[in-house]
Amino acid sequence: MDINDLKIGDKLEIHCYKHNGHLHRQWDEAVLLDIKDNYMVFGNNRTTVIDSDGKVWNTKEPAIMFFFKDRWFNIIGQLKDYGIYFYCNIATPFLIDDNVIKYIDYDLDLRVFPNGSFKVLDKIEYKFHKKQMHYSNRLDFILRYELGNLIDIVRKKEFPFKKEVIENYYETYVSLIKESGE
């Protein structure tokens, strides 16, 4: 399926790769909630995840995911019982190939807590993979630059780091699931 053929309610998979081309993780479902010029929004809940080591598990809560066409990160709003958390992956802009959302993950993550505080995660993993997989200086610059941009967006509480944005997309997700009879 071509990206231009997608419509609200379509279900896709998500495949996350590493710089060396190896499949790192895959999610079996992402329901398309919105299509904008520079990003797409998806939702899922208790979806099955398969790690590269073969471990299979399920997510614990509903998630609203923002994949960008021109930004080197993706953002996941997690609706937990005690507030909305955000998990942000520093990653390539996404592409869609044969009903699968694909991107390359570059280890660095940003965890944003319900009170707006945040923490950069996996710096050691990033340094290890940067050396092991020979990230170029240009790539390193882009990734660090985009992490800085992401932190600025969080500090300014800009889209999509607002509770009402996640709640509204979650309502859309619930409506689409009810319509599909699941």
Q: Which residues pair with 26 in a beta bridge?
A: 15, 50
**Segment (H or E) for 36:** none
Provide the 3-class DSSP secondary structure of residue 124: helix
Indicate which residue of 25, 46, 111, 155 is catalytic.
25
Per-residue buried b or exposed e for 68-88, using 16+ beta carbons within 10 Å of the residue's own CB: beebbbbbbbbbeeeebbbbb
| CA torsion through residues 144, 125, 40, 70, sign | positive
> Is 25 considered catalytic here?
yes
The residues assigned a catalytic role are 25
